[in-house]
Structure 1
Amino acid sequence: MRRGFRYWLLTIHRDCGYFFAGMVIVFALSGVALNHRDDWNPSFMVERREIQADLPQDRSELDRELLQAVLAEAGIDDRYRTHDFPSAAKLKVFTEAGSALINLRTGEGEYEALRRRPVFYQVNFLHLNPRGWWKYYSDLFSLALIAVTLSGLFLARGRFGFRWRGAILGLLGLVAPLVFLGMG
């Protein structure tokens, strides 16, 4: 049984579409997130909150154990890493996920932590870090997108095919990026 050109177009279109459906979703979610990175951080959530700390007046008493206890008392369950004095009146306590900046005189401060944004951190990581074998898999995905697009152009027949409706919509779709390039 001889298989025609249309059969192979349909096979390529269908099988690549099924195989790479997950990648389309990953890159689409990441693309939307990255398009709006001026509006929000697509990979991390920033948690800020005011804290109050009871600190000794003598800076030499500020050690790991005391500062871990101060963090726990302020409701911060993050682990202490180190601390520093950016100025004579300020204490900065670094934790695994963030830091607290505390006024040594008043005990008032602010805690700030970064947390990975679920799902978006992972899809952005995949989209922005093509290394090792992942780079070649991403390249294969890009080539498959071209194959799916080109095969899809010729699957429909008649007035819905590429010769009429498909050509018009294809040209309109090509005009949009060109207009945006001209605006930039």
Structure 2
Amino acid sequence: MRWRKWNFILHRDIGYLCIGLTLIYAISGVAVNHTSHSFNPSYTIEKSAATVSKLEDGKQPDREYVNQVLAELGETGTFKNVAMLNPSTMRIFIEGNSIDVTLATGAVIQEKIARKPGLFEMNYLHLNKHKKSWTLIADIYAIALGLLAVTGLLMIRGKNKLRGILFTSAGIALPLLFLFAVL
């Protein structure tokens, strides 16, 4: 039959188009599924402790003290802002770094953040952080996956038909059973 030939061609070509996006979504999906307090799928977060000169008694923290803290830490990143977390703790925001200083002791806790190369970009796409034009691409990809599923079902013939129906039914039943169990 001629429609089977066109179904096969459509299935094959849509499949080729979907390979790259499917790999990106698969890798990102696994990473995002395992987000926890100890694993960030997009960023590496490095915490460290240090000590700097404490703020002199009776003085208020000012830009001069902030510059002194940054110099003692050897921090050369771009200064963004400074805020008082409470009367005894100051937070200095540097590009990719936040520095908490306990004023009375000079104790410092730094949290440096850097993008995970590759994973950051994949998660950015998968989670549709950009919105706008990426939404259209993601919608086209979702429709292509739907067409891939339908054309794949239409390819099942002969003795594999029952197997295909069973596996397809299992694929539909699995999320429904999960939702029934947890809701």
Does TM-score exceed 0.5, indicating one fold?
yes
User: Paired residue for 1:36?
Assistant: 34
- Note closer, same or farther for the CA distance 1:11–1:59 as it changes in structure 2 (3 Å cut): farther
- Pair 1:52-2:44 in alignment: no
- Do the aligned residues in 1 keep the contact of 2:79 with 2:95 (CA within 8 Å)? yes
| One-letter amino acid matched to 1:135 | T
Q: CA deviation at 1:22?
A: 0.9
- 1:17 aligned partner: 15
In 1, the alpha carbon distance for the partners of 2:176 and 2:55 equals: 64
Q: Letter of the aligned partner of 1:37 in structure 2?
A: T
Counterpart contact for 2:55–2:104, Cα < 8 Å: no
Q: CA RMSD for the aligned pairs?
A: 2.3
Q: Distance in 2 between matches of 1:124 and 1:166?
A: 32
Pairing of 1:1-184 with structure 2 (within 5 A): 4-38=2-36, 40-57=39-56, 59=59, 62-63=62-63, 67-68=66-67, 70-129=69-128, 131-160=131-160, 163-184=161-182
Letter of the structure 2 residue corresponding to residue 167 of structure 1: I
Segments of structure 2 that go 5 or more residues without pairing to the other structure are: none
Give the whole-Å Cα distance in 1 for the aligned partners of 2:60 and 2:101.
16
Cα distance in 1 between the residues matched to 2:85 and 2:35:
30
TM-score by length of 2: 0.84
Aligned-residue identity in percent:
30
SS in 2 for 1:37: coil
Q: Which amino acid aligns with 1:11?
A: I
Question: SS at the partner of 2:159?
Answer: helix
Identify unmatched segments of 5+ residues in structure 1: none
Note the C-alpha offset of 1:38. Answer: 3.3
Paired with 1:46 and 1:63, the residues of 2 have a C-alpha distance of: 26
**CA displacement at 1:152 relative to structure 2:** 1.2
Residues 49-83 of structure 1 show CA distances to partners (whole Å, capped at 9, x for unaligned) of 0011124516457426x634532432444332232
Q: 1:173 to 1:86 in 2, by over 3 A?
A: closer
Report the alpha carbon displacement of residue 106 of structure 1 after superposing the two structures with TM.
Answer: 1.6
Looking at structure 2, the residues matched to 61 and 84 of structure 1 have their Cα atoms a distance apart, in angstroms, of 10
Aligned mates of 1:12, 1:90 — CA distance in 2: 63
> Aligned pair count?
179
Q: Any conservation in 2 of the 1:67–1:80 contact (CA below 8 Å)?
A: no
